[in-house]
């Protein structure tokens, strides 16, 4: 198969396409034929030599999330079958034609989401769900402040928090970004370059402010 390798730490010019052996799956893994891969900050840091190496036994190649079609399943895998279209959170290897993934890191593609777009879901979805709902325990009718609302994490957080019934405040650096956040469902947009977001939050919450976690 073909994969992207790093010839030496540096800029995008150090990335090269190389022919390598296909990955072999373990009993608890599936083999995915990659349709699309997402670009994450962790990938750029690793390209520059600034990121920790992947865990032992995982793919040595770039790419921490992808989407595609399952080509093979390990002996202990029961949830997935050959031909399923999925997305996955990876320890590496998304920038390859094929990648072996632990079955527990594979996710179904939501209805209405294309196979290509699904490649960008696993990292952001897992990050937001674990921090906002598992740790923060955001509940319906609570108020939620998202800094950097127009970022990948921010745009996902706005949508899922609104879906779960929260009131959503966002900060961003210009009016265009704030408008995009509003279109995604944000209730209050604050330009942190022209406004004191602490004062604005207190104003919008009748002086109560928000708890930080």
Q: Are 99 and 60 in contact (CB under 8 A)?
A: no
Q: How confident is the model at residue 57 (pLDDT cuts 50, 70, 90)?
A: confident
Give the largest CA-CA distance in the chain. Answer: 62
Does pLDDT of 188 surpass 70? yes
Q: Pick the residue with more confidence: 50 or 36?
A: 36
| Closest of 152, 156, 149, 209 to residue 173, by C-alpha | 149
pTM, to two decimals: 0.86
Q: What is the pLDDT of residue 17?
A: 96
Q: How confident is the model at residue 210 (pLDDT cuts 50, 70, 90)?
A: confident
Q: Tell me which of 55-69, 72-86, 172-186 is least confident.
A: 55-69
Does pLDDT of 209 surpass 90? no
**Cα–Cα distance measured from residue 69 to residue 64, given in angstroms and rounded to the nearest whole number:** 16
**Cα–Cα distance measured from residue 150 to residue 133, given in angstroms and rounded to the nearest whole number:** 20
Q: What is the pLDDT of residue 208?
A: 85
Full set of structural domains in the chain with CATH? 2-115 (3.90.180.10), 124-204 (3.40.50.720)
**Cα–Cα distance measured from residue 188 to residue 204, given in angstroms and rounded to the nearest whole number:** 8
Q: Are 158 and 170 in contact (CB under 8 A)?
A: yes
Does pLDDT of 51 surpass 90? no
Which tens digit of pLDDT belongs to each residue from 92-145? 999 999 999 999 999 999 999 999 999 999 999 999 999 999 999 999 989 999
Does pLDDT of 213 surpass 80? no
Per residue, what are the HEC states of 170-187? Answer: EEECCHHHHHHHHHCCCC
Q: What is the pLDDT of residue 211?
A: 67
């Amino acid at each position: 198969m073909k994969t992207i390798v790093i010839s030496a730490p540096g800029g995008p010019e150090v990335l090269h396409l190389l022919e390598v052996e296909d990955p072999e799956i373990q009993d608890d893994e599936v083999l995915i034929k990659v349709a699309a891969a997402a670009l994450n900050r962790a990938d750029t840091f690793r390209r520059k030599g600034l990121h920790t190496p992947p865990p032992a036994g995982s793919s040595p190649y770039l790419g921490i999330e992808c989407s595609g079609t399952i080509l093979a399943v390990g002996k202990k895998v029961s949830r997935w079958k050959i031909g399923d279209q999925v997305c996955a959170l990876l320890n590496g290897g998304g920038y390859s034609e094929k990648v072996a993934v632990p079955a527990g890191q594979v996710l179904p593609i939501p209805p209405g989401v294309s196979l290509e777009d699904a490649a960008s879901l696993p990292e952001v979805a897992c990050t937001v769900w674990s921090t906002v709902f598992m740790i923060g325990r955001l509940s319906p009718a609570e108020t939620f402040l998202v800094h950097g609302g127009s970022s990948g994490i921010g745009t996902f957080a706005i949508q899922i928090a609104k879906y779960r019934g929260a009131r959503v405040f966002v900060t961003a650096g210009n009016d265009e970004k704030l408008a995009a956040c509003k279109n995604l469902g944000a209730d209050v947009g604050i330009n942190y370059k022209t406004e004191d977001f602490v004062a604005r939050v207190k104003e919008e919450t009748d002086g109560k402010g928000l708890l930080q976690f």
